[in-house]
Structures are given as structure tokens and as C-alpha cells.
Structure 1
Amino acid sequence: MPDVTTTEIRDVQGARRALGWFKVMAILAGLAMFVLITEMVLKYGFDNAALSWWSPVHGLIFMVFVFTVANLGFKVGWSFGRMAAIVVGACVPLVAFWIERRVATEVEPRLAGSLSP
């Protein structure tokens, strides 16, 4: 298995765009999780359906996040297991924000050190 810190990134511009989308979607997915938790508390704790429309919206946001993980992962050479771990980790409240920072601090120096074609 190649070392993810030394694997050459072939499409640097594409990886930069993919990282940007990943960062946006990781933060959005993290925020959406808090709205989903609020919706669940209202629904099951107070029998209030004010945010009942949020569940499908959250699902859509999360699916776009999964796509951005795969897109970035293929561009920077992550294994399927690494991509799956990122997706599963984002299912835990607050972890999506930590994952976004960790991935950015790993990938940004690799992109800065790569030569654009």
C-alpha cells in the first residue's frame, strides 16, 4: 500500500478543487448534524414536528459529503478503508469538524509541494 504522504498527486488543480469542496461539505455536514439533533429532540422529546422536513435535507447534504470524500480520496490516493473511516467518523457529532481540519492539514502541504502540470 502506498504511503499517502509521498504518493504523487497527478491532477493538482483537480485535487485543490476537490479539497475545497470537501472542506465546505465537511463543515456543512457537521452543522447539518446539529440541526438533525435539534429536529430529533423536538420530535421525540416534545412531540413537535416543526423541523420534520430536515431529515431528507440532511440526508442529501450527507450524500454530497460522501461524494466529496470519494472525489478527494481518489485524487490524493487514499485507500477505500481511509475514505470509509472518514465517512463513518462524520456520523458522530463534532467529529466532522475535526476531520475537516485533519484532512486539510495533511493534504494542503502535499498540494503546495506538488508541481502543477
Structure 2
Amino acid sequence: MESALKPFRVLAYIVGTMLLILCAAIVLRYGFDIPEPSKIVSPIHGFLYMLYLIAVLNLGMKARWTWGYMLGVMLAGTVPLLSFVIERKVTARVQETIAA
């Protein structure tokens, strides 16, 4: 389970950061009519989000989470700043499970 936790943590931070960058790019696109940054950032974020989903699935299967909990963790990557909060909660939960 520990082997699946590290990729999840790294991807949670990367996806959270990329989502914030994507939000800024969207503001530039629709607020200031500068579409180039969002054209670059959108596919990168999409690819990294897919890797995040795989990392959540891998960790969730090893930790024997319910499908509902896994889905909630997966959706955390779609809300700005939430992936950072959920990463902390998931890490604490997994470390508790490992200690028990």
C-alpha cells in the first residue's frame, strides 16, 4: 500500500497545481482574449488527471476503499485546491491503516 501512496501524493500535488494554472489560463482566454495558454495547459492537465485517476484506482484497490470513496477522491482533482486537502486526508487514512 505504501508503494501506491507516493505516486498518488505526487500526482495529487501536480494535478492540483496544474488545475490552478489552468484556471488562470481560462481567465486569460475568456477575460483577456488570450487563448494560447489554455491551448497548451488544457491537454497537459487532462493527461496528468488521467494519471491521477489511475493512481487513485491503484491506491484504492490496495487499501480496499469503497467505490464511493474512490470516486470522491477522484473528483477532488476537479475542484481547485481540493486535491491538496484530500491528499492530506488520504495520506493520514492510509498511514493509520498501515500502522494498524
State the TM bucket, normalised to the shorter chain.
Answer: over 0.9
Aligned match for 2:18, one of 28, 32, 49: 32
Q: Which entry has the higher C-alpha Rg, 1 or 2?
A: 1
Contact 1:90 1:99 in 2 (8 A): no
In the alignment, the residues of structure 2 paired with residue 64 and residue 77 of structure 1 have an alpha-carbon distance, to the nearest angstrom, of 20
1:21 maps to a residue whose letter is: P
Give TM-score, length-normalised by structure 2.
0.93
What is the match of residue 41 of structure 1? 27
Q: CA-atom RMSD, angstroms?
A: 1.0
Aligned length: 99
In the alignment, the residues of structure 1 paired with residue 77 and residue 68 of structure 2 have an alpha-carbon distance, to the nearest angstrom, of 14
**Unmatched 5+ residue regions in structure 2?**
none
In the alignment, the residues of structure 1 paired with residue 68 and residue 92 of structure 2 have an alpha-carbon distance, to the nearest angstrom, of 20
Deviations 1:27-69 (A, max 9, x none): 1110010110011011111011231211000000101000000
- Give how far 1:112 is off: 3.3
In the alignment, the residues of structure 2 paired with residue 32 and residue 17 of structure 1 have an alpha-carbon distance, to the nearest angstrom, of 24
The runs of at least 4 consecutive aligned structure 1 residues that moved more than 2 Å come to: none
Q: Which has the higher helix share?
A: 2
